[in-house]
Amino acid sequence: METTSLVLPFDRVEADAIAIMLFEDESAPPELHSATAWLDEMRSSGEFTGKSGELAVAHLPHGLLSKRLVVVGGGPRDKFDTAALRRAVGSTVRTLKQKGVKQLAWWLRDTAAGLSTAEAAVEGAILGNYETDRYKPSTDAKPLEHFVVAVPRGGMKLESAVARGRIIGDSQNFTRDLANEPANRLTPMVLADRARVMAGEQGLECEVLDQDRMRQLGMGSLLGVAQGSAEPPALIVVRYRPAKEPEVVDHLGLIGKGVTFDTGGISIKPAEGMEKMKYDMCGGAAVLGAMRAIAQLKPTIPVTALVPAVENMPGSKAQRPGDIVTSLSGKTIEVLNTDAEGRLILNDALTYAQKLGCTHLVDAATLTGAIVVALGYVNVGAFTNNDTLLGRVLASSKVEGEKMWHMPLDEDYKELLKSPFADLANIGGRWGGAISAAWFLREFVGDTPWVHLDIAGTAWIEEPKPFMAKGPTGVCVRTFVHMATNW
């Protein structure tokens, strides 16, 4: 989809449709003077009240060059933000493209709102236009071809905002593309190949550690998960280095869980819903998508992404409950449940990230079903050993509309991981499962500032939303990019 900007009077914008937003109890703005009678009729009939999610369409509107006038409800003005705008644009795109609209202009009345408004509008259009039909040649999807951000006057550096929105929206969809791939088409080594191609296109460095190299280094925890599959594992490392030597010594590490398919191993999962375990690499996909955007937006600090990529299978060589493995850190782990595999690959990646010089670590992982029990499908669970770094993450997530909730990580929970046979066990029992999983990871970061994001409830949606197709969401991409570019 092409995205452009335009500075013109409202009635001079020519498109298949031009959309303008109205809030609850808001009188018609000057742009809608010629459509006052129609809008009054919509309101008197209750068809349009300005509530969030409402949409009214007038065909061949009098006095306009656009073929359709679309009035979009914004809800209460005091509750409206860029996240709400992103969703409103996405919903409008998904509705209108099914009605044959190929070119949509979005009118931004308040140019004083700044660059973030135009950026969010473009992101919403790109995310809303996305469909999960790559392997469905019979699809009747009708994508939007051109999205225009139109404003009455300049002064917003509009083109740069549109460009930034396009970079971030496309990168989030890159993440969704990776997550959508079925496991027979996206093995760990294929994911590594995709990372190499992306890195080459964006001018990033990419290194892939194979099984032999990981064995030499001593990544016994990661390799233990991989040994049950015929597909070899990979540790993907993608580096961004700023053009100028940074004034600070901070080096951000983004670590993403990359289990391309998770059967649970010997502790096998129930058959129902197991097809969704192709999504168990959404954390890895998110950090790769973030790196794609970071490469183009060029923050002033170095950023390194690590994706431990494995397939967790119950093959004849699979590790068994009760096995003990030695991690890269030297700590030994009693594997009580082979379906708690994400933490077993992440701990080696976290240790390796520190060896590469990362001073601040943030990981994203579809780690536990327990976080879904705690927070449902709304919030990402956030755990930390450093409130300052968590503050950065939460501030960025709030700006980007990716909801996150600070979860506890008290010392008392560490007791859950005690093992009589190894330094720690890989599970801590039924209660507080998301917390004990986070505590397990904390054991491998020492004093390095670290935040763990459990995205199991937010990485994909079971049913389509008005603003987004069913499937992976690309959660965390925007937060990571905002954090890096505003460090």
Catalytic residue numbers, as ranges? 269, 343
> In the 3-class helix/strand/coil scheme, how is the chain assigned residue by residue?
CEEEEEECCHHHCCCCEEEEEECCCCCCCHHHHHHHHHHHHHHHCCCCCCCCCCEEEEECCCCCCCCEEEEEECCCHHHCCHHHHHHHHHHHHHHHHCCCCCEEEEECCCHHHCHHHHHHHHHHHHHHHCCCCCCCCCCCCCCCCEEEEEECCCCCCHHHHHHHHHHHHHHHHHHHHHHHCCCCCCCHHHHHHHHHHHHHHHCCEEEEECHHHHHHHCCHHHHHHHCCCCCCCEEEEEEECCCCCCCCCCCEEEEECEEEEECCCCCCCCCCCHHHHHHHHHHHHHHHHHHHHHHHHCCCCCEEEEEEEEEECCCCCCCCCCEEEECCCCCEEEECCCCCCHHHHHHHHHHHHHHCCCCEEEEEECCCCHHHHHHCCCCEEEEECCHHHHHHHHHHHHHHCCCEEECCCCHHHHHHHCCCCCCEECCCCCCCHHHHHHHHHHCCCCCCCEEEEECCCCCEECCCECCECCEECCCCHHHHHHHHHCC
Helix axes 342-355, 433-442, angle to 10 degrees: 30
Instruction: Decide: 103 and 16 in contact? Cβ < 8 Å.
Output: yes
CA atoms lying within 13 Å on the CB side of residue 68: 20
CA distances from 215 to 50, 129, 326, 484 (A): 61, 43, 11, 32
